[in-house]
Chain A
Amino acid sequence: MPEAAGRLVRPNQENNITMNPRITKLREASLATIPRISGERARLITTFYKLPAIAGLPIPVQRGKALLYLMQNKALHIGENELIVGERGPAPKEVPTYPEVCVHSLQDLEILDSRTKVSYKVDEETRQLYQDEIIPFWSGCSVRDRMFRALHESWKEAYSAGVFTEFMEQRAPGHTVAGEKVFRKGMLDLIQEIDDSISRLDYHHDPEALSKSEELEGMRYACEAMMVYATRHADALEQLLLNESDPQRRDELLDLAAICRKVPAHAPETFHEALQHYWFIHIGVITELNPWDSFNPGRLDQHLLPFYRKEIAEGSLTKERATELLQAFWIKFNNHPAPPKVGVTAQESNTYTDFCLINVGGVKSDGSDAVNELSYLILDVIEEMRLLQPSSMVQLSKKNPDQLIHRAAKIVKTGFGQPSIFNTDAIVQELIRQGKTPEDARRGGASGCVEAGAFGTEAYILTGYFNLPKILELTLNNGVDPLTGKQLGPKTGNLMEFNDFEELMSAYRKMLKHFIDIKIGGSNIIEKIWASRMPAPFLSTIIDDCIANGRDYNAGGARYNTSYIQGVGLGTMTDCLTSLKYNVFDNQRFTMKQMLEMINADFEGFDQELAELIYDTPKYGNDDDFADQHVTEVFEAFFNVVDGRKSPRGATYRVEMLPTTCHVYFGSKIKALPDGRKAGKPVSEGISPVQGADRRGPTAVIKSAAKFDHIKTGGTLLNQKFSPSFFKDEEAIRKIGQLVRAYFRMDGHHIQFNVVSAETLRKAQVHPEKYSNLIVRVAGYSDYFNDLTTELQEEIICRTEQESD
């Protein structure tokens, strides 16, 4: 990994606070540490499952006890001068594995160790452990193995062809965010709730009473696990005290030990306790399983405010101390790279980032402006820490002051793609449309990349990316996949016999429905396996109303349950339809036969024609209604086959439009397309226009992107690449804020900017060593440019660079 210590540190622009030596050192250590695979969790979980008394227990109880066993036995790490304690692995960036979910082969471990990008070092001892113990015990029993046994052949064929991906094949469902409850209740309060729920069970009338009692018993063990874990930290801190001579550190160790004796068993009462309390819970969630998007404290400026104000008023906390604690908190996130991903999962999400997205701003549950002094303090921390993890975002409501977006834009200007900017008013409308109460909707925000959710009350699970342009390719070939020559989909008609554009669209819709049915059929099987085989009792105690319902998070226990399918390639798909309508059906520039000939030849020998397809055909992203009518058409077709369908756990299927890195993978699975895209090249990213196709400036992109109805989604992702001149002075930055406000007035969901020139990126490709701290916005997250695959680097360079003259 090309990270190096001593990255550029910018003094914070607003108040000129620079990080103190302690934070500087912790931060540099975090940046310099190389991610490694730790075999510890795999070893402990295997030992646990081999215990004689375990096999006979109900599965939720097994899982609760498994967490207890892990928390009793995992090694503790207390870093030098740390202010917040707790690590998922035995040390920072030592990443555990989850063989009960996905058991890595020796070859997987070798790939993880040796691949050039996003690698994790695997030592000999771990490989030996896997060979001798882990692989023999778990092979055939992991969730992944069970899944692939149960899935139908049609699902597997479509999956291999790159029609869609599957999120739950290597990682657990998650994608959720803590609500206010986490900061207001201790484990003892939760245990009381669990016991109340157990005492209410009605064995006379409720056929599920027994399974509810088993689930609740599992939850109880999970809460106990977290108390044991904290107490062990308190003991270890007191041990350290014995050898500590520095009086200041002795005081800190004493304080920390006292905090660990109090939280998470009891509700926190101070700012420091609140951060440590959350952090223990965070570690609990990501140790229990490897849920997507790790875990997330959500609306941090809201949750911490009561502690902050109380202590500032009492004089027991200063702004400087609060800043230092937040900085220490930030570093903890950066110490935790994503659990290792291999195969298609690695291709769709090829990054160390684990998508914890901290929210700032937005509205309170009564709908009023929620921005407060902590919102700005957290923005200062984001700017100064300049870390990839946690990701950060600003929720901007029409009720928030312009100062919020202005401050955020100034951080965006520093060019590391954070914070991203979200439209609170759109998110609230999206959630209300899905059936949340206005209050629950306003308590929500966005997590992961751009996903809207009701924080603390919703299980919103992303099931996988869906390749919209691949469906067109299959339609153009009457169901045959040109990459393999196999009849993959139904015969929707011979292209030569289509009389008009509408016939083509109707064939596309048929093809789309066929593969969405396959995807949803598969997801329903996978969901059932997770619900029955791999409950998450600890996560269930945190998300309402799992305790009250006596039902697991993975089984529909939350108040709201949603399953998403994420559409990819909207811009490419739109331009393909526009090209066919404009060049073949309307203007007869080419016959359909000629168009297919060019595509089959990958445009070799058709330079002039290719130039016409690229430069003289209407394109999405230019506020041109001829092209943009198709963005609505594609979106509506996708929405109509997905939205409102039900899953076994009682969730409703919805759509989102985001790609992470999947637009590169999906592009590799498609030959040439009618918009002039060549075989194997990435498709468009998020809802952004095709790379380089938007030539009428940022307002035109925004207008085009706002033409389909974002309120019917659970999130859309628009990235824009701006030359640094766009941000050159206060006035220019104000105009960026106005641009964002205008997009949000049109119900745009999210926008983010890459403030970097293509020239810089080209130089970084040639001299990576000189650009080790160059960060770019990829899709819903930022990453080190050097950590991106060459294909992804090229894709970002090819995006239109909006120039300000």
Chain B
Amino acid sequence: MEGYVFDIRHYSVHDGPGIRTAVFMKGCPLHCHWCHNPESQEMMPVEVVKSKSIGEKLIQMPEIIGKKMSPEQVVQEVLKSRVFFEESGGGVTFTGGEPLMQPDFLLDTIKLMKQYNVHVALDTCGYAQPAHYNEVISAVDLVLFDLKHTDSEWHRENTGVALEPVLRNLKSKAQAEKPIVIRVPLIPGFNMFEPVYSEMADILNELPGLQQIDLLPYHHIASHKYTRLGLENKMKGVKEPDKEEVDLAFDFFKAKGLKVTIGG
């Protein structure tokens, strides 16, 4: 069993406790307009051309994004950072893309990872078949769960998929037994409204394993990727939220008795 991975990045410090290694898996069922990793959406590897500087000149060099790896290969690469996990209480975070797009490969890799006693986190959009979701969730130590909206229509319009399967997984029995961190991307014009915050807070206050909410304000950092991949950037013209707007969301969730961070 092999899977498609597009990057393994060490010293990741925002995707769970301690110093972590993030495994970026390819393929995503969602197509969020604000996606920071558009190159991850397709399961198959993509070739892009990158400019590299040689003194004053720029040289075009092709680069393939995504490669087929076995669970053993992934684990071997992740374990390069083992000493850092041990010193910091860190571990590995599977992210993407959507890791649950490759459930069997993901599960094999997680099980192998656990043989080395490494802390495993899963960063997921929650859109997956319940059987896959439950099985993978039971094998990890922490879930980082994206909640983008509370209205099904808005959700479908901007991410491409329905909200119900996401909420079903969020409220599942398997999930109730795992620590969970909710990550809310703050997207101007999409979900930065008080009624949305209010409905989110209601959902979150029902979650037994909830540790905290990370608010992730939208930024333009990935716009060059859309150009390079020849994709339409639907966020063109959307401004990054300013500090006051972000603070408003922060204060709202805090007032609801939730532990909130900005930036994760």
Contacts and interface: CB of A to CB of B under 8 A. Distances in A.
Nearest to A608: B59
B231 interface: no
A614 interface: yes
Contact of A611 (B12, B54, B81): B54
A80 B13 CA distance: 51
State which size class the interface on B falls in.
20 to 34
Nearest to A738: B88
Contact of A607 (B10, B14, B54, B87): B54
Given A607-B57, A735-B13, A699 B88 contact: no
A699 B20 CA distance: 10
B67 to A, nearest CB: 15
A611 B61 contact: yes
Nearest to B22: A805
Contacts of B80: 623, 699-700, 703
A611 B10 CA distance: 25
B186 to A, nearest CB: 17
A15 B233 CA distance: 50
Contact of B61 (A615, A698, A703): A615
Contact of B18 (A614, A738, A746): A738
Contacts of A738: 18-19, 84, 87-88
A141 interface: no
B83 A700 contact: no
Given A739-B84, A742-B83, A699 B19 contact: yes
A616 interface: yes
B129 to A, nearest CB: 31
A746 B13 contact: no
A559 interface: no
B84 A742 contact: yes
Nearest to A746: B83
B9 interface: yes
Contacts of A623: 10, 80
Contacts of B54: 607, 610-611, 614
Contacts of A703: 80-81, 83
B123 to A, nearest CB: 14
Contact of B87 (A614, A745, A804): A745
Interface in B70-125: 80-81, 83-84, 86-88
A732 interface: yes
A741 interface: yes
B52 interface: yes
A700 B14 CA distance: 18
A735 B18 contact: yes
Interface in B1-55: 9-14, 18-19, 52, 54-55
Contacts, number: 64
Contacts of B61: 611, 615-616
B55 to A, nearest CB: 8
Contacts of B14: 805
Contacts of B9: 697
Contacts of A610: 54, 59
Given A607-B54, A614-B54, A696-B10, A735 B81 contact: no
Interface in A676-708: 678, 696-700, 703
Contacts of B11: 697-699, 739, 802, 804
Contacts of B10: 623, 696-697, 699-700
Interface string A729-743: 000100100110110
Interface string A599-635: 0000000011011001110000001000000000000
A394 B180 CA distance: 39
B83 A611 contact: no
Interface in A735-763: 735, 738-739, 741-742, 745-746
Contacts of B18: 735, 738
B252 to A, nearest CB: 22
A698 B13 CA distance: 12
Select the residue from B14, B19, B61 with max chain A CB neighbours within 10 A. B19
Contacts of B12: 805
A696 B21 CA distance: 11
A698 B84 CA distance: 11
Nearest to B21: A699
Contacts of A746: 83
List the 8 closest A-B pairs by CB distance, nearest first. Answer: A738-B88, A611-B59, A742-B87, A699-B10, A697-B11, A738-B87, A742-B83, A699-B11
Interface of B: 9-14, 18-19, 52, 54-55, 57, 59, 61, 80-81, 83-84, 86-88
Given A607-B57, A699-B84, 17 more contacts: A611-B54, A614-B54, A615-B61, A678-B55, A697-B9, A703-B83, A735-B13, A735-B19, A738-B18, A739-B19, A739-B84, A742-B83, A742-B84, A742-B86, A742-B87, A742-B88, A804-B13
19 contacts: A607-B54, A610-B59, A611-B54, A611-B59, A611-B61, A678-B55, A696-B10, A699-B10, A699-B84, A735-B18, A735-B19, A735-B88, A738-B19, A738-B84, A739-B88, A741-B87, A745-B87, A804-B13, A805-B14
Interface of A: 607-608, 610-611, 614-616, 623, 678, 696-700, 703, 732, 735, 738-739, 741-742, 745-746, 802, 804-805
